[in-house]
């Protein structure tokens, strides 16, 4: 075994370093303990040394003494993430569970980015979901990050573990503002739906946002929402999403055309590309097990290929997906009425609507022409 050097005055760091070298090697821990005591006499406020002492005591089964020194270290350096992480992990090993849970919450408060691992350990200590949320709530009330960061951490753990009682316990603790946040509401709804709790998901949605709004901006009086990096193609907030320009097409809104009373969506195809169009699109909240009708008007000018343009309704995240669509149109047609009906299955909460044109390998694949839509409505059939 190595022999410690003659330690000079101001040798606190050297004493600690030598103690750490000896700790895994020495059967007689008295020498290690003496070195740590020497280091603490010179640097009594240096928290890592207190954790070294705790590690030494824990290795010899002195759990109470180890726990006391862990608490001292946490109190000395309450905002050092690396120190609090080490302290929390050691406290989990030595117990007791309530103290270990407190140590984990202290670390999570300043390191929410490590929430999945930290909360995973906490979940083992607090098997009751209500107890874990009770321990977590003070953290999002006083943590250095916004409350939403910590609430998302708990929900992410619940989602990954398939722990619906934990997700419910969190949801019941949230205020109205947090419940209305997409980053909490949509994952919670998705989790309920994935476990077949569609009626419960519908009730949660109604509690937060009221009745389903149906189709938003069906008269195109409001601006369309450009597709950006935050675009969620399935659980997005209702509203038309679109990319104004793409390979071979342009999308915009113009004033009333012909005998139309309201503004129109206009899609121009430039004849330069084999367009595979899936927009504009909108996701609409619906009632499970309910039939709906989409109706509106459309017209076309010189749509050039046999792979024509059509309007499609489809269910989102149901098994199987239900789809209904107008017949593909080509050529020119005057403004005319169209209707689509869709039966939402019992596991359906969302229906999408979009304008489609499927790419083709036919010789006339380069699409040109113009399509307009206006006065769209989407309602339950019993209204």
Domain tally, the chain = 3
Taking only the tens of pLDDT, the chain with its 383 residues reads 444 554 444 445 656 665 666 565 555 678 788 888 888 888 889 999 999 999 989 988 999 999 999 999 999 999 999 999 999 999 999 999 999 999 999 999 999 999 999 999 999 998 899 999 999 999 999 888 999 999 999 999 999 999 999 999 999 999 999 999 988 998 999 899 889 899 999 999 999 988 888 899 999 998 888 876 666 656 666 789 888 888 999 999 998 877 778 899 999 999 999 999 999 999 999 999 999 999 999 999 999 999 999 999 999 888 899 999 999 999 999 999 999 999 999 889 999 999 999 999 998 999 999 999 999 999 999 76
**Is position 280 within any domain?**
yes
Residues 258 and 287 in one domain: yes
d(CA 299, CA 257): 10
d(CA 330, CA 298): 12
**CATH number (domain holding residue 8):** 1.25.40.10
**Is position 303 within any domain?**
yes
**CATH number (domain holding residue 358):** 2.60.120.260
Residue range(s) defining the domain that contains residue 179: 115-210
Residues 301 and 196 in one domain: no
Residues 84 and 131 in one domain: no
Tell how many helices (H) and how many strands (E) occur in the chain: 13, 12
In the listed set 210, 236, 260, which residue is the last one of a domain according to the structure?
A: 210
Asked if residue 292 lies in contact with residue 381, where contact means CB atoms within 8 angstroms, the answer is: yes
Residues 140 and 267 in one domain: no
* Per-residue tokens: 247: 């390979």
DSSP-derived letter for residue 228 is -
**Is position 333 within any domain?**
yes
Which residue carries 């906490």 as its tokens? 122
pTM, rounded to two decimals: 0.77
Q: What is the dihedral of CA 257, 383, 379, 265, to 10 degrees?
A: 10
Residues 282 and 352 in one domain: yes
Residue 30 CB partners (closer than 8 Å, separation 6+) = none
Beta-carbon count within 10 A of 166 CB? 23
d(CA 266, CA 369): 11
Residues 178 and 252 in one domain: no
């Amino acid at each position: 075994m190595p022999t410690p050097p003659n330690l000079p005055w101001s040798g606190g760091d050297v004493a600690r370093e030598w103690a750490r070298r000896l700790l895994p090697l020495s059967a007689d821990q008295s020498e290690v303990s003496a070195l740590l005591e020497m280091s603490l006499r010179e640097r009594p406020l240096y928290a890592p040394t207190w954790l070294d002492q705790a590690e030494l005591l824990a290795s010899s089964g002195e759990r109470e003494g180890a726990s006391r020194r862990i608490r001292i270290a946490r109190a000395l350096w309450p905002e050092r993430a690396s120190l609090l992480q080490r302290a929390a992990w050691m406290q989990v090993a030595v117990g007791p569970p309530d103290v270990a849970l407190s140590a984990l919450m202290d670390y999570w408060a300043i390191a929410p980015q490590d929430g999945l691992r930290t909360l995973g350990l906490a979940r083992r200590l607090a098997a009751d979901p209500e107890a874990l949320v009770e321990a977590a709530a003070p953290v999002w009330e006083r943590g250095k990050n916004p409350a939403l960061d910590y609430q998302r951490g708990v929900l992410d753990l619940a989602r990954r573990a398939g722990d619906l009682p934990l997700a419910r316990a969190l949801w019941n603790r949230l205020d109205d503002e947090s419940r209305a946040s997409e980053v909490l509401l949509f994952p919670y709804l998705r989790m309920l739906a994935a476990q077949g709790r569609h009626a419960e998901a519908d009730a949660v949605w109604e509690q937060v946002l009221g009745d389903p709004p149906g189709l938003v901006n069906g008269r195109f009086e409001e601006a369309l929402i450009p597709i950006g990096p935050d675009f969620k193609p399935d659980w997005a907030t209702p509203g038309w999403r679109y990319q104004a320009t793409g390979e071979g097409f342009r999308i915009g809104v113009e004033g009333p055309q012909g005998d139309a009373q309201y503004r129109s969506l206009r899609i121009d195809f430039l004849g330069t590309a084999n367009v595979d169009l899936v927009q504009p699109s909108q996701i609409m909240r619906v009632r499970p097990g309910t039939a709906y009708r989409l109706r509106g008007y459309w017209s076309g000018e010189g749509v050039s290929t046999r792979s024509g343009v059509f309007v499609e309704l489809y269910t989102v995240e149901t098994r199987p997906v239900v789809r209904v669509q107008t017949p593909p149109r080509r050529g020119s047609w005057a403004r005319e009425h169209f209707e689509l009906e869709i039966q939402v299955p019992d596991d359906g909460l969302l229906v999408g609507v979009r304008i489609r044109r499927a790419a083709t390998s036919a010789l006339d694949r380069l699409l040109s022409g113009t399509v307009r839509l206006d006065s769209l409505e989407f309602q339950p059939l019993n209204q």
